[in-house]
């Protein structure tokens, strides 16, 4: 269980969260949705301990995040960030092996188990062929898959994804989300910031909708994803339909009167 309790957070004197309380239960795939600047990525940073709340606290299994050591936390929570910058020519395999660092003692080399996990993850993410290739020679989508694979290799019970499938084509987007959905089905906790509402509807059990730093709605996907919410939060017109076979929601956007300003 990952929980924020009445947290405040601001960048300088620009306040963002003021008394935000939201909790995430294991065995569930959560989507965080909201327009640009609504605080999605900041919430992820607070949940993984990269940022600290000004007031209130974030707890993991009832214990404050800053009460865990960094290394212990890295064995519980993995993060797939939006961007990957790497200026040194590590190979794909070496990059994914970095996900095992929190499990390997400082001066020890990776064991058989670590090599096995990395090979399995590379296989599952479609990177097995490029394992020995230098990361700088991969395409943007392939690099993002490497980052994804590294987080999977970390083998944590909490996975945080920050628009982690943004650069993927449909095959890999669905393939990667299937992998993490499998983790949630096995009792893991997945929290994903999603920009694509149809993908969110397809995968998320529950949605957390942020609007200007406030919790606009949280609950089962079908309850949160409504035309009224889209109008109020995203300022777009859309019709929500229900797929008769799978019972998942679909968002059919209307060009309508949506404007940038």
Binding region for other proteins (CB under 8 A): 11-12, 45, 48-51, 70-71, 73-75, 77-79, 81, 83-91, 94, 98-99, 101-102, 106, 132-134, 136-137, 147, 151, 154, 160
Looking only at the bridges linking them, the beta strands covering 55-60 and 63-64 are antiparallel
CA–CA separation, 126 vs 172, rounded Å? Answer: 8
Q: Give burial (CB, 10 Å; 0-12/13-18/19+) of 106.
A: exposed
Least Å distance, CB 201 to other proteins, is 27
- How many CB atoms sit inside 10 A of residue 10's CB? 14
Least Å distance, CB 78 to other proteins, is 6
Cα dihedral: 91, 95, 100, 106 (round 10): 80
Q: Which C-beta is closer to other proteins: that of 39 or that of 224?
A: 39
Q: Which C-beta is closer to other proteins: that of 176 or that of 217?
A: 176
Cα–Cα distances in angstroms (integers) from residue 144 to residues 82, 91, 121, 125, 218, in the given order: 8, 14, 14, 10, 28
* Farthest CA pair distance, the chain: 60
Least Å distance, CB 103 to other proteins, is 9
Least Å distance, CB 56 to other proteins, is 18
Least Å distance, CB 251 to other proteins, is 30
Q: Which C-beta is closer to other proteins: that of 51 or that of 57?
A: 51
Q: Which C-beta is closer to other proteins: that of 42 or that of 125?
A: 42
Q: Which C-beta is closer to other proteins: that of 145 or that of 249?
A: 145
- How many CB atoms sit inside 10 A of residue 207's CB? 25
Cα–Cα distances in angstroms (integers) from residue 246 to residues 53, 192, 203, 249, in the given order: 40, 21, 11, 9
Beta bridge partners of 91: 134
Least Å distance, CB 136 to other proteins, is 7
Q: Which C-beta is closer to other proteins: that of 57 or that of 240?
A: 57
Report yes or no: 224 and 209 within 8 Å, Cβ to Cβ. Answer: yes
CA–CA separation, 132 vs 168, rounded Å? Answer: 21
Least Å distance, CB 126 to other proteins, is 19
Q: Which C-beta is closer to other proteins: that of 164 or that of 236?
A: 164
């Amino acid at each position: 269980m990952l929980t924020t309790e009445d947290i405040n957070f601001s960048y300088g004197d620009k306040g963002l969260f003021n008394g935000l309380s939201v909790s995430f239960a294991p065995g569930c795939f959560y989507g965080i949705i909201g327009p640009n600047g609504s605080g999605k990525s900041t919430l992820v940073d607070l949940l993984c301990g990269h940022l600290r709340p000004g007031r209130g606290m974030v707890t993991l299994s009832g214990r404050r995040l800053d009460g865990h050591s960094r290394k212990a936390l890295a064995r519980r929570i993995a993060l797939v960030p939006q961007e990957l910058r790497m200026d040194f020519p590590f190979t794909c395999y070496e990059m994914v092996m970095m996900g095992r660092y929190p499990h390997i003692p400082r001066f020890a080399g990776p064991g058989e188990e670590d090599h096995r996990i990395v090979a399995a993850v590379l296989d599952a993410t479609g990177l097995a062929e490029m394992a020995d290739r230098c990361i700088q020679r991969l395409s943007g989508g392939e690099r993002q898959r490497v980052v994804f694979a590294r987080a999977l290799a970390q083998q944590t019970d909490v996975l945080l994804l920050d628009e982690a499938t943004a650069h993927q084509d449909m095959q890999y987007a669905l393939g990667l989300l299937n992998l993490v959905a499998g983790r949630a089905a096995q009792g893991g906790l997945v929290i994903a910031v999603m920009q694509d509402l149809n993908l969110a509807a397809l995968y998320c059990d529950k949605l957390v909708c942020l609007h200007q730093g406030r919790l606009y709605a949280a609950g089962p996907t079908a309850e949160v994803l409504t035309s009224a919410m889209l109008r109020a939060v995203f300022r777009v017109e859309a019709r929500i339909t229900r797929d008769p076979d799978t019972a998942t929601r679909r968002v059919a956007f209307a060009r309508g009167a949506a404007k940038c300003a």
